[in-house]
Amino acid sequence: MQDKVVLITGGAGGIGQATAKLFLDQGAKVVLVDINESSLEKAMQSLTSNPENVAIIQADVTNESDVKNYVQETVSHFGRIDVFFNNAGINGPVAEITDLEKDAFEQIMSINVTGVFLGLKHVLAQMKEQGHGRIINTASNAAYIGSAGMVGYIASKHAVAGITKTAALEAAPAGIRVNAVAPAAIDTQMLADIQNNLTPGEPEKSGEAIKQGIPVGRFGTPEEVAQIVRFLASDEASFVHGALYNVDGGMQAD
């Protein structure tokens, strides 16, 4: 990954930051994009090993002019985009279909689906111009299953799977690879929020229940997801197009 330019959305979050650290440790230049400016500043401070190799850009992935801007800024700062980790996402409230507000459903779809689409639209155009690139979208175990109380998230991650396969077919003739990582139960703020939603004030209670449904009996770490993203971005994955890679402690096998 030496000198590769890696663009990460949701870069201030758990999986985004762990991935940024791994790529930086391997000599890459990393641009973190996130809606949360203070988290971006904190992330920048924690990635101290090579500060000259890190840039941060505040952007809302649902806003097309923000997306155009993060692509242009990355190219003007580091010259190109070799790897795009299209990762920003939210879970949204836990509520059954009959109780979920339309606005809440649309917000999840907007960030998790439109945000992924817009990132692909503008980064793929840049990569086609360059003649190379690797893209990894963040899907989820939720791309394969249903889950009561999670309709927006489930629908959005099924959509990410479809978008990934379609983008892979459109990009392959240009030598660009598009794949997805499909994590489950990774120990980040998102999982903490889900636990608090399920059992308010007693997150460890729902945490234990979730762990019982994971064959390995524990949560995954953001670093374990980062390793698969690194693999998919590397030449080792040169014949891998349109795939979803599970990082889920065996949940899909169950």
Ligand X SMILES: NC(=O)c1ccc[n+]([C@@H]2O[C@H](COP(=O)([O-])OP(=O)(O)OC[C@H]3O[C@@H](n4cnc5c(N)ncnc54)[C@H](O)[C@@H]3O)[C@@H](O)[C@H]2O)c1
Q: How far is the CB of 42 from ligand X (least distance, A)?
A: 10
Structure tokens at 150: 């999670």
- Per the CB < 8 A criterion, the answer to whether 73 and 125 are in contact is no
Q: How far is the CB of 203 from ligand X (least distance, A)?
A: 13
Integer Cα distance of 160 and 29 in angstroms = 26
With CB under 6 A as the rule, give the number of residues binding ligand X. Answer: 31
- Per the CB < 8 A criterion, the answer to whether 127 and 176 are in contact is yes
Q: Interior CA angle at 102 toward 96 and 103, to 5°?
A: 120
Q: Considering the rule CB under 6 A, would residue 24 count as an interface residue with ligand X? A: no
Q: Considering the rule CB under 6 A, would residue 58 count as an interface residue with ligand X? A: no
Q: Considering the rule CB under 6 A, would residue 10 count as an interface residue with ligand X? A: yes
Structure tokens at 196: 């608090």
Q: Considering the rule CB under 6 A, would residue 164 count as an interface residue with ligand X? A: no
Q: How far is the CB of 191 from ligand X (least distance, A)?
A: 4
Q: Considering the rule CB under 6 A, would residue 119 count as an interface residue with ligand X? A: no
So which residues are the catalytic ones? 153
Q: Considering the rule CB under 6 A, would residue 71 count as an interface residue with ligand X? A: no
Q: How far is the CB of 111 from ligand X (least distance, A)?
A: 5
Q: How far is CA 113 from CA 45, 154, 156, in A?
A: 30, 11, 6
Q: In this structure, are strands 177-183 and 134-138 parallel, antiparallel, or unpaired?
A: parallel
List 12, 71, 176, 244, residue binding ligand X (CB under 6 A): 12
- Per the CB < 8 A criterion, the answer to whether 237 and 231 are in contact is yes
Q: Considering the rule CB under 6 A, would residue 88 count as an interface residue with ligand X? A: yes
For residue 237, what are the contacts with CB-CB under 8 A and spacing of at least 6? 134, 177, 179, 231
Structure tokens at 94: 């836990």
Q: Considering the rule CB under 6 A, would residue 207 count as an interface residue with ligand X? A: no
By CB under 6 A, what part of segment 223-252 binds ligand X?
none
Structure tokens at 43: 């992330």
Integer Cα distance of 210 and 129 in angstroms = 45
Structure tokens at 80: 């190109």
Nearer to ligand X, 53 or 87 (CB): 87
Instruction: Identify which range of 9-17, 74-82, 170-178, 198-206 contacts ligand X by CB under 6 A.
Output: 9-17
Instruction: Identify which range of 21-29, 84-92, 172-180, 226-234 contacts ligand X by CB under 6 A.
Output: 84-92
Q: Considering the rule CB under 6 A, would residue 186 count as an interface residue with ligand X? A: yes
Nearer to ligand X, 64 or 130 (CB): 64
Footprint on this chain of ligand X (rule: CB under 6 A):
9-10, 12-16, 34-36, 39, 59-62, 87-90, 111, 115, 138, 140, 183-186, 188-191
